[in-house]
Amino acid sequence: MDAVNPATGAVIESYEEADDAEVEAALAASQSAFEEWRDVPLREREELIANAADVLRENAERYARLMTDEMGKPVEQARGEVEKCAWACEYYAEHASQHLADEPRASPAGTEVYTSYEPLGPVLAVMPWNYPFWQVFRFAAPYLTAGNTGILKHASNVPGCALAIEEVFEKAGFPEGVFQSLLVSSSKVDGIIADDRVRAATLTGSEPAGRAVAETAGRELKKTVLELGGSDPVVVLDDADVAQAAETGAWARCQNTGQSCIAGKRFVVHDAVYDDFLDAFLDEIDAYTVGDPRDDQTDIGPMARRDLLEDLHEQVVRSAQAGADVVRGGEPLDREGEYYPPTVLTDVPRDAPVAAEETFGPVAAVLRVDSEEEAVEVANDTDLGLGASVWTEDRARGQRVAHRIDAGCTYVNELVKSDPRVPFGGVKDSGYGRELASDGIREFVNRKTIWVN
């Protein structure tokens, strides 16, 4: 398993994949650790997850540069990712007791009835490379604090990050076996899910990967949470603050080199402000610095792998062939590394790839609409439903439109983001279940009714 720097093409380090015996040992260790971890008082588990936040901050620069080297994230954004992970740990250190407190229920006089939230056991997490720390801590902070144990199958291009995350929990004082990283290929996932010791699975990734995990888990009657792709609309209405919509929208499309499920991807703009928005949007795009991700001044780094760049470029080419106008970018950069420039397409047919498919890179489709009604219709014209944003200076109007968009989360006058304080997840082909907040920590627990006469 090679870690390859996408900015240079150089192999950073090679790692040995776990064999069947090592997988068996990890599963046994996870089950054994769970039997004791589940009985550790919640307050002690909260203290340990708070320790993890301290470890993250103490090693922030090393972890940030590891992310940058393995998947190309601009280092300043990588530092922000480490900080966000620490924030999630602190959130659950502070609020887990409240989220998991026994919940009294109505009952006859003289009885005591309540719901108790108890851990399920070992949870398998299949996580992607694009936010190699945040995606993991988004599952680990709540699920471990709830008393489950975790087994991480990380993406094969970020093995160093997988082992570094295991190190975080070790340094924080978590007992051996509570969190483990398994360096295995995707071919072993079905067998791990099917193992009787694994009680649940969570996946963040592509729609095909989600369907495969859900099929195996469903056959085994195991709970799953899936956060899959997105084709997020950015709806700019005729009364929007165009400058703010363009500035935030451009960043929503290009941060993390556009490699985000909740990136703004389809810009659905009212005709009354279309020209002004497009001019402002292009000005923002033109101001970004594409370059060495280890440079603090870089806004956009390389894409994580050559095949991802090739797939993205093919979508752009096919969209141009379908009639879209490429007004910025549109060709891989002629330089070392997997660099694709910020690319903007206008006059995009609604069945063109950049409008009808998820684009996982810095490519924006700008679509013109004549009314609020048409904007909602275009926004919903996708099988995906992860996030969306609405831009208007009328907050009541923004809320009304937000309720009409089919998405797991819709932000008014703000970019879509995952925040430990609010539940996160999608609808339609973007998956099911929720992460973060109280909803996230209760996904993988036994909601047990206790009735005492």
Q: Which domains does the chain have, with CATH numbers?
A: 2-228+430-452 (3.40.605.10), 232-420 (3.40.309.10)
Residue 203: both structure tokens together: 């996946």
Q: How confident is the model at residue 278 (pLDDT cuts 50, 70, 90)?
A: very high
431: left (phi over 0), alpha (psi -120 to 50) or beta: left
Contact 375, 334 (CB under 8 A): no
According to DSSP, the β-strands at 149-153 and 179-181 are: parallel
- State pLDDT tens for residues 75-112: 999 999 999 999 999 999 999 999 999 999 999 999 99
Residues with a known catalytic role = 227, 261
Q: Which residues of 320-342 are buried (b: 16+ CB within 10 A; e: fewer)?
A: bebebebbbbbebeeeebbbbbb
Mean local confidence (pLDDT), 310-335: 98
Question: What is the percent of the chain with per-residue pLDDT over 90, rounded to a whole number?
Answer: 100
DSSP per-residue letters across 186-244: GGGHHHHHHSTT--EEEEES-HHHHHHHHHHHHHTT-EEEEE----EEEEE-TTS-HHH
Q: How confident is the model at residue 235 (pLDDT cuts 50, 70, 90)?
A: very high
Give the per-residue pLDDT at 242: 98
Mean local confidence (pLDDT), 20-35: 98
Distance CA 198, CA 126 (A): 13
Contact 424, 440 (CB under 8 A): yes
Q: Which residue has the tokens 């602190």?
A: 90
Give the per-residue pLDDT at 244: 98
Give the per-residue pLDDT at 443: 98
Give the per-residue pLDDT at 366: 98
Q: How confident is the model at residue 180 (pLDDT cuts 50, 70, 90)?
A: very high
Using DSSP's 3-state secondary structure scheme, residue 134 falls into helix
Distance CA 156, CA 69 (A): 14
Give the per-residue pLDDT at 11: 98
Q: Tell me the residue length of the chain.
A: 453
Q: How confident is the model at residue 183 (pLDDT cuts 50, 70, 90)?
A: very high
- State pLDDT tens for residues 396-437: 999 999 999 999 999 999 999 999 999 999 999 999 999 999
Residue 391: both structure tokens together: 């831009």
Query: By C-alpha distance, which of 300, 269, 429 is closest to 358?
Result: 429
